[in-house]
A and B are shown apart, each in its own frame.
Chain A
Amino acid sequence: NAGVTQTPKFRILKIGQSMTLQCTQDMNHNYMYWYRQDPGMGLKLIYYSVGAGITDKGEVPNGYNVSRSTTEDFPLRLELAAPSQTSVYFCASTRDRYSYEQYFGPGTRLTVT
């Protein structure tokens, strides 16, 4: 199993550009999450999904959108990039509502200038 994979690893965007961060897991996990990590702030939940077709907002959803058309994929969309979105983004998954153990991808480092 590859676990949770994320692409790209690094990206530089100009203000106002858009992009999609890709996340795929091959563990047949139902729950998937997107976090952002800023220095000294820990991880903040952006969006999560409890299954294909179901998504919900986390703590910091503004400026982002997600979709979940399949169990495996959970892309994160930035429509109008802003400097405040400069961060490291992590995707994670858990098997179901009872497992709690999260598996993390390697992260995407995004810089918006």
Chain B
Amino acid sequence: AQSVTQPDIHITVSEGASLELRCNYSYGATPYLFWYVQSPGQGLQLLLKYFSGDTLVQGIKGFEAEFKRSQSSFNLRKPSVHWSDAAEYFCAVGANYGQNFVFGPGTRLSVLP
């Protein structure tokens, strides 16, 4: 069965600083990988996804993520964080033709002015 870990429970960065959120997965086959963002009191919004091909994927709001098969990682990055990026971020892996998504525990991002 697949699993997802996000080693950082809470990260604080200053506005304008760069950001990297870590995600490691365990899955026997080629994974379908996702990053979602959840603003307070809201549902989850898809930031980006990786299915195949180019291992560097671009998403919305200036985010990107890189799939590294050798490290079983799918880290999320942003070169310059904005105060509005403060939220919780979830990494997820999909399998079994959409019948099974597994989410990581989430990383809460705080942004200092």
Contact = CB atoms under 8 A, between A and B. Distances in A.
Interface of A: 4, 31, 33, 35, 40-45, 48, 50, 56, 90, 92, 94, 96-102, 104-107
Q: Which of A42, A48, A90, A98 has most chain B Cβ within 10 Å?
A: A42
Given A100-B94, A101-B49, A50 B99 contact: yes
Interface in B84-106: 90, 94, 97-101, 103-106
A107 B43 contact: yes
Contact of B98 (A42, A44, A94): A94
Contact of A40 (B9, B94, B98, B101): B9
Contacts of B49: 100-101
Contact of A99 (B98, B101, B104): B98
Interface residues of B, number: 24
Interface in B52-78: none
Nearest to A50: B99
Q: Which of A40, A44, A101, A102 has most chain B Cβ within 10 Å?
A: A102
Nearest to A30: B98
B44 A42 contact: no
B104 A42 contact: yes
Given A96-B98, A97-B97, 6 more contacts: A31-B99, A40-B106, A42-B106, A43-B103, A100-B34, A102-B34
A100 B103 contact: no
A98 B95 CA distance: 10
Nearest to B43: A104
B99 A42 contact: no
B43 A101 contact: no
B94 to A, nearest CB: 5
A90 B44 CA distance: 9
